[in-house]
Amino acid sequence: MMRQFFAFVFIYLLFVLQSTLFPVGPQFVLLALIVFALYETRLIATLLGIWAGFCLDLTTPTTLGVQMLTLGGIGYGIAVVRNLFYRNRWHNLLFTITGLLLQQLLYYFVDKNPLNLNTLLITAILTLTLAPLAEPAVVALFYRHSKK
């Protein structure tokens, strides 16, 4: 129970870091959500996604609810399909690419002024570069003594 509470706090801290220091940087929140969804139950993964989306929606009030829907769906989806993939270093990249595409696809349909192509490329490249490092870092912090 405490681990899940600290996961919510960790997501919030990553949101603060992402929104203040790196507005056009890597999506730390998405990377952490993917790792949590690989290790937590469907309910917790979905709630973490909704929480992460709520935090990110606060920075763009014109598209309120889009990130909640997207990240909640990503958290649930990964928690559902995680057992279908062999656990290797590529599953994290696959989930990250899928998450980035889903976010941008929903923004395209909801927001008439989505981010420009240069911003999308920079964000995607930085996020994909950090994707292989996200799982070992989050696992070391949250699941080192876990039986999973």
- Residue 15 sits at the vertex; the CA angle it makes with 12 and 20, to the nearest 5 degrees, is 130
Residue 50 is assigned to a structural domain of this protein: yes
- Where residue 119 sits, what CATH number does that domain have? 1.10.1760
Q: What is the predicted pLDDT for the residue at 108?
A: 66
Q: By C-alpha distance, which of 68, 101, 98, 66 is closest to 80?
A: 98
- Domain range spanning residue 23? 2-142
- Residue 134 sits at the vertex; the CA angle it makes with 79 and 27, to the nearest 5 degrees, is 85
Helix residue ranges, H only, the chain: 2-20, 28-39, 42-57, 66-81, 90-110, 117-142
pLDDT class for 87, splitting at 50, 70, 90?
low
Question: Model confidence over 10-68: pLDDT tens digits?
Answer: 999 999 998 887 767 888 999 999 999 999 999 999 999 999 999 988 887 777 888 89
Residues in the chain, overall count: 148
Residue 20 is assigned to a structural domain of this protein: yes
pLDDT class for 86, splitting at 50, 70, 90?
low
Residue 148 is assigned to a structural domain of this protein: no
Distance CA 53, CA 47 (A): 10
| pTM (2 d.p.) | 0.84
Distance CA 115, CA 24 (A): 10
Residue 147 is assigned to a structural domain of this protein: no
Instruction: Count the Cβ atoms, other than its own, within 10 Å of residue 74.
Output: 27
Question: Model confidence over 91-141: pLDDT tens digits?
Answer: 667 778 877 777 777 666 666 555 566 777 788 888 888 888 888 899 899
Output the six-digit token pair for 38: 């690989």
Q: By C-alpha distance, which of 33, 60, 50 is closest to 134?
A: 33
Q: For residue 133, give the amino acid letter.
A: L
Question: Strand, helix or coil at 143?
Answer: coil
User: First CA to last CA across the chain, in angstroms?
Assistant: 15
**For the chain, what is the mean pLDDT?**
83
Structural domain count of the chain: 1
